[in-house]
Amino acid sequence: MTCPNRLGESSPGFTGTSTLRIFVPTHVLSTPLAAPVSLRFAMKVLVTGGAGFIGSHVVERLLDAGHEVSVVDSLERGSRDNIAGPLERGVRLHETDIRDRSLRALLADERPEVVMHLAAQVDVRVSVADPVLDADINVSGSLNLLEGAREAGTRKVIVTSSGGCIYGEPKPDALPVKETYRGSPESPYGISKRVLHDYLAFYKQAHGMDWTVLALANVFGPRQDPYGEAGVVSIFLGKMFANEEPVIYGDGKQTRDFVYAGDVADAFMRAIKKGSGTVFNIGTGVETTVVELWEGCARAASYTGEMRFAPKRLGELERISLDWSRASKKLGWEPATDLSKGLAETAAWVKSRLGSS
């Protein structure tokens, strides 16, 4: 007889007769053969900013996929409440600033295979008023993280960038803007985000650490702070539910691309195994004016008040929308939640949050 090799191939030179015995460990026999793919490929993942608005959604998705998750968050903007469920499920929370040198020892202890980097200074106006602070957090803090990840042997870093700022003010015929567009950022925040792309390329070339950048449009959804300075959707809704007049800065004709937080979390999950050394726009490609957004929020909140306008603020764009075709082709990602549905879900969360405060 011939002895079958892998995939039914025959091993040459074996022509005798024998009985083939295969010994299988008992723990393998007791394991379901059809285990979910997510569990069969579980890994250690560290999420910076994981107690924040977007990060908490990413943490939940990682846990649901069976990964072992740790979170680094200073809790300056994040909240334990955002990850109360994940903490009960075993997520480790390290209350640490990404600028702190202790972060490197923490990474050495955790030894994550993948780092998802969402911690950042995210307010354009803060970056204009204090560009040194912006660079300290977004550049120096990120480099501290990258050094720690390199020392810990991390395989891949997935970094959040700003699809609304790194391209500057695109020409109208360039919208929705592609990742290849070479505009000039018009705020220190956009500059600090864009420079990380070059640092990541260096770390891959010099140290073999893989990376993916997700350039996010204007993200909205549950857990976006209605009391904060960033996040126009939650701010509008928070004011409307409090029967206050939300302010529109400028004439309201400026446009933004609004993408739902749950869809963004899906992009992070897909980037774990795909998108090596690539920047991806994560948006909808749809321009929505601020006035249109105000009207959508008013419908979701059943608000009947008047619009109130104030002068435009320095550093903010007139128009932006992102072409997400590269993410579709290489990550298999698409925006699944339309604006009206997302606004309704966000409104329900904001209303419940204000009612419990």
Is the residue at 64 inside a domain?
yes
Is the residue at 74 inside a domain?
yes
* Residues linked to residue 322 through DSSP beta bridges, in sequence order: 177
* Per-residue pLDDT at 355: 73
Domain that holds residue 110: 37-220+258-284+322-336
* Per-residue pLDDT at 230: 62
* Per-residue pLDDT at 313: 85
* Per-residue pLDDT at 8: 36
Catalytic residue among 167, 189, 260, 303: 189
* Per-residue pLDDT at 7: 33
CATH number for 183: 3.40.50.720
Is the residue at 178 inside a domain?
yes
Do 313 and 125 meet the contact criterion of CB atoms below 8 Å apart?
Answer: yes
Is the residue at 94 inside a domain?
yes
Do 95 and 68 meet the contact criterion of CB atoms below 8 Å apart?
Answer: no
* Per-residue pLDDT at 225: 84
* Per-residue pLDDT at 132: 98
Number of domains in the chain: 1
The model's pTM is 0.87
Is the residue at 241 inside a domain?
no
Residue 189 among the catalytic residues: yes
- Torsion angles phi and psi, residue 353, rounded to 5: -65, -45
Is the residue at 240 inside a domain?
no
Is the residue at 52 inside a domain?
yes
* Per-residue pLDDT at 326: 98
* Per-residue pLDDT at 39: 45
Tokens linked to 97: 């600033």
| Measured distance CA(19)–CA(23) in Å, rounded | 13
Residue 114's SS3 state is strand
Mean pLDDT by 10 residues, the chain (357 residues): 35 39 38 40 94 98 98 96 97 98 98 98 92 98 98 98 94 96 93 97 98 97 78 94 94 97 98 98 98 98 96 87 98 98 97 76
Is the residue at 21 inside a domain?
no
| Measured distance CA(123)–CA(116) in Å, rounded | 20
